[in-house]
Structure 1
Amino acid sequence: MTKSLSGSALHKTKLKTRMILTLGLLGAFQTILIGGFAGYYLSNSLYDEIAQRALMVAKTVAAAPATISGIQSRDITGLNQLATHLADTNEALFIVIGDREAIRLAHPVEAKIGLSMADDDGDDGHEALVNGSAYVGRAKGNLGESMRGKAPVRVPDTGEIVGIVSVGYSLAQVDTTIRRYNFVLYGVVGVMLLATIVAAIVISERFKRAIFGLEPEEIARLFREREATLQSVREGIIAVNREGIITTANRAAHETLNLPPDKPLAGTPLLDILPESSLMSVLETGQPDFDREIWLRGRQMVVNRLPVRQGDDIIGVVASFRLSNELDQVSRRLTRIQQYADTLRSQTHEYSNKLHTIAGLIQIGANDEALSLIGSEVSDHQALLHLLLEAVPDPVIAGCLLGKYNRAREMGLNLDIDPDSQMSDIPESLPRNQLVSVLGNLIDNALEATRQHTGEGGRVKLSMTDLGEELIFEVEDQGPGVPEEAQRKIFERGVSSKGEDHGIGLHLVQQFLNRWGGSITVENLNEGGSRFTLYLPKQPEERTSL
């Protein structure tokens, strides 16, 4: 229970506080550890230095001729003067000289002369007097605790051990030196610890600013929300870094691009998925691109591309894409419905007029004229039907042309279909409903332009051919023509000479051509009017760009 409460309290602690505590404690631990090791190493080094100094002085005094001769002659006065002088010279606490039996011959305290050296520290000098070895030791005697170096006194010629020299340095001085060094050391440690805490505060402040002042829990929640939002968006979303590597892709991107849902895109080069993508051009220009209509993997889409900036640098690009918006889809449906309605209305209106005329002729007894009118009507339609059956076996396209023929008759115009036309080799992959929509838009525009310019009696000509590798449709009208500066703009959405709420038909024509790799040309005729020529490849090459 206590552990749970402690974890809960820590969980509620602000990130800044946690970072300061963590970095501060880590810095304190490291600083104290380093400081302790440095203090320990310094103390040992000083003790070792004092020991070696004591041993060196002891060996030097033991090798002095005055020391050797003084021991041999037992010159206590001379040895004490020598010991006092050398102790002062080497800043030693004491120098004690003893004979072969470790009896003091020189000592700072006169009362100790003549007594055994073992009285002070229990060491009778056996290692030096018997084994002939110089050594150091730490002991507490009458003059306080000291570091002592002891060396045997040998006769140079024979090597005989005749005495011992003990040199001591006060450890109180060493401890004072260590305390002085430790004071400086721990002062530095304290400054380092304070600097660590200040650094922890500065780092935590900058880190908090870098994450917009959010807590880790808030970041985790935002990440989950962002992931849920990304996956719930119906638009496909792909983000790439400056190297062109995909960093983010949602579920809709897989579906829109017809990719397996279990195929991860993150970490994959964009050009491996979309070889013809122009998304990387946004990295170079830094200019966003909105609502660009393209054909992507067999589907018409609307793409938005936006650079991702960090300061003044562009670090990536995000692209969102979706199937053509509902307006385009509704526009296509409405266009087809309008065409079907116009066809039915034209046929109904025309035949109604013809029936009324025939009925009137019968009523007034003009039977021959009625029969002639019936025969003419039947003959015209039989000729048109025969032409369409021969030239256009596809019933959908033939039905569209028959409806436009009747529509022209209703408008007081003539739709002349070139008797040499041939349109039988239409690929199965070409959607008939879209082809009918495109062809119907061109004919409707030609009829409207002709009626406005010439009135009744005007003619619109249609010729078709499927020879070669392309399907070619030519539609000629007797309208005012299309100015050269307007010939490219008329395919843009909303551009029309009919005023507002128009400009959709030719835009849909252009979108269809963009998908199937086709083209259209516009030219003005010498005798007046214009000619629209539509080229559709039998083997369409879909254009892909993201």
Structure 2
Amino acid sequence: MKLRQLKLKQRMILILGIMALIQTGFIGLFALHYLERSLDEQIGQRALDVAKTIAAMPDVIQAVEQKDSLYLQPLSISLAKTTRARFVVIGDNDGIRLAHPRPEKIGHSMADDDGDTGYPALIEGHGYIAKAVGSLGWSMRGKAPVISADGNIVGLISVGYDLNRVSEIIQRYRLTLILVILGSFIVSAAIAVWFANHFKKAIFGLEPEQIARLFDEQRATLESVREGIIAINSAGEITTINQTAIETLGLPKNGSLIGRKIDEVLPDSCMLDVLNTGEPQFDQEVWRGDHCIIANRLPLKQGDTITGAVSSFRRKDELDMVSQQLTRIQQYADTLRSQSHEYSNKLHTIAGLIQIGASDKALQLIGQETQSHQALIKLLMKAVPDPVLAGCLLGKYNRAREMGLTLVIDPESEMTSLPEKLPREQLVSIIGNLIDNALEATLKHHGNEGRVLLAMTDLGNDLIFEIEDQGPGIPLQQQDKIFEKGFSSKTNDGHGYGLHLVKNLLDKLCGTITIESGSAGGSRFTVYIPKNKK
């Protein structure tokens, strides 16, 4: 089975166990080797010290000079027992044995056993340590020269200690080491199980491959959304930022922003406030250069601990564009609905007149309807050649008739010089919202048969639109508040946004709007839009 096929817990147990086994084994082998060398050195030094001590004995020096094997043979055996050495061998200056645990070896060269001639001791006069196998087996030997009173080297003392004791000690430690290795493996496995459970809990029980896949999905998701997203950790360092955020904020694209402090990248950011207080912020307007940004900021929490903050934002003009498009769609829907409803009523009336035999009345109604629409279409074609604005006005005309009202367009109106750069969706949003407000105010105050007047002119440097209703009028103290977001004289929800949108659109077009009392007691809104935006 491949390692990648195992679960994370199994992998961690296996890897940590193998690591513990390797580490403990390596340390154990090193310890055994070091112990063996240390024991060898200690035994060898002891053998050398004993050899030097024997070589310095006057009786031994005299007997070696005289090559008195009869005296040296029992003495060597006695010294070996006293020093607990395996053997004490004494030789003359030619390396010929004068004393040996085996009497038959006396008179033979000391090099017969291991090839060691004792050169450093016999020629250079230095004691040394050697590990070799001889006629008595493996032993650690210390060899020292026997020096006469006049300074001549007259012989050699070789003291050997058996290494079987060293092997026994090493074997005992080797068994202990194996038990330690097994114990370390079991402990490591237990720690691995605990750590794997804790780690799996911290990563919500996911496997590494799942985390990698989620990371790729998150990165792709962040780059696919049209909102800018920035996330920071508890230290205020940027951990996540997508390309949209970089482009919206005008940040450098060639440098890495991950890991940098948010107050270094965006000195005016309020994300640190969210990090410190833990309070979310919604729909905050922030100016970045010459454009406004709508931002939402939320704290990131693990339990009750704040671990960071995330901010999502988008340019306000993009949101306004979406709102304008929705308004335009709503206007088209209202136009179609009002036309459908109006023509349905007309058709039912005509059908009823035909059924009761009043064909003349039916023809007269058809003529009036055709004449009315033809006159309006002729006026719009002449005064408003732009199809978008003309379509908006035609839709509002039909909606007014559906409400039992009349939208009167001044026949002297003229709007033939609309600038090419003027966004048509913004223009119809402004005019459409003002007409809708005028119709609702007229219907509420005047009832059916009320009128809304519209006059347009493009003479001079401005486009001028006048919308006059027959509503109750707007008190002077409210004229500065009606353009605020959410302000409305109506009690039901869903109002207070139309005039706010009108004001925002006019600000973008560098236009203005004035309010005054109308001739019929209502209000007159006058819109001025410059043809050439400064």
Q: What does the per-residue CA deviation read over 1:396-450, in whole Å, with 9 as the maximum and x for residues that have no partner?
A: 658877998999999788979799x997764312233541342243144235435
Q: What does the per-residue CA deviation read over 1:116-136, in whole Å, with 9 as the maximum and x for residues that have no partner?
A: 464983557453446656443
Q: 337-346 vs 48-57, which deviates more? A: 337-346
1:334 aligns with 2:334: no
1:479 aligns with 2:472: yes
- 1:172 matched to which residue of 2? 164
The verdict on how the C-alpha distance between 1:199 and 1:11 changes in structure 2, with shifts beyond 3 A counting, is same
1:430 aligns with 2:430: no
**Structure 1 position 144, deviation (Å):** 5.7
The residue type paired with residue 162 of structure 1 is V
* 1:138-217 map, 5 Å: 138-140=131-133, 145-157=138-150, 159-182=151-174, 185-216=177-208
1:14 aligns with 2:10: no
Distance 1:56 1:539 in 2: 113
Distance 2:189 2:14 in 1: 8
- 2:17 matched to which residue of 1? 24
1:58 aligns with 2:51: yes
Distance 2:18 2:224 in 1: 49
* 1:12-411 map, 5 Å: 12-73=5-66, 92-102=85-95, 104-105=97-98, 109=101, 116=108, 118=110, 121=113, 125=117, 127=119, 128-129=121-122, 134-140=127-133, 145-157=138-150, 159-182=151-174, 185-216=177-208, 218-219=210-211, 230=221, 236=226, 239-242=229-232, 243=237, 247=241, 281-282=270-271, 284-285=273-274, 308-309=300-301, 312-314=306-308, 316-317=310-311, 329=325, 331-336=327-332, 338=334
Q: How many correspondences in the alignment?
A: 476
Contact 2:468–2:518 under 8 Å retained in 1: no
The residue type paired with residue 152 of structure 2 is E
> What residue ranges of structure 1 are gaps of 5+ in the alignment?
1-5, 258-263, 350-380, 542-546
**Structure 1 position 313, deviation (Å):** 1.0
The verdict on how the C-alpha distance between 1:23 and 1:402 changes in structure 2, with shifts beyond 3 A counting, is closer
Distance 1:267 1:165 in 2: 78
Contact 1:121–1:139 under 8 Å retained in 2: no
Contact 1:98–1:163 under 8 Å retained in 2: yes
Contact 1:397–1:432 under 8 Å retained in 2: yes
What SS class does the counterpart of residue 474 from structure 2 fall into? coil
The residue type paired with residue 314 of structure 1 is G
Contact 2:55–2:61 under 8 Å retained in 1: yes
Q: What does the per-residue CA deviation read over 1:328-380, in whole Å, with 9 as the maximum and x for residues that have no partner?
A: 7454233256469879979x99xxxxxxxxxxxxxxxxxxxxxxxxxxxxxxx
Contact 1:121–1:141 under 8 Å retained in 2: yes
The verdict on how the C-alpha distance between 1:404 and 1:62 changes in structure 2, with shifts beyond 3 A counting, is closer
Give the TM-score normalised by structure 1. 0.62
Structure scoring higher RCO (CA < 8 A, sep ≥ 6) equals 1
Contact 2:295–2:311 under 8 Å retained in 1: no
Contact 1:57–1:167 under 8 Å retained in 2: yes
Q: What does the per-residue CA deviation read over 1:448-501, in whole Å, with 9 as the maximum and x for residues that have no partner?
A: 435654677988686877867x75656565623158569646665795628567
**Structure 1 position 526, deviation (Å):** 12
What is the root-mean-square deviation of aligned Cα atoms in Å?
6.0
Contact 2:55–2:147 under 8 Å retained in 1: yes
The residue type paired with residue 55 of structure 2 is A
Contact 1:471–1:537 under 8 Å retained in 2: yes
What SS class does the counterpart of residue 312 from structure 1 fall into? strand
Distance 1:393 1:217 in 2: 63
**Structure 1 position 51, deviation (Å):** 2.4
Contact 1:94–1:167 under 8 Å retained in 2: yes
The verdict on how the C-alpha distance between 1:501 and 1:423 changes in structure 2, with shifts beyond 3 A counting, is same
**Structure 1 position 164, deviation (Å):** 0.8
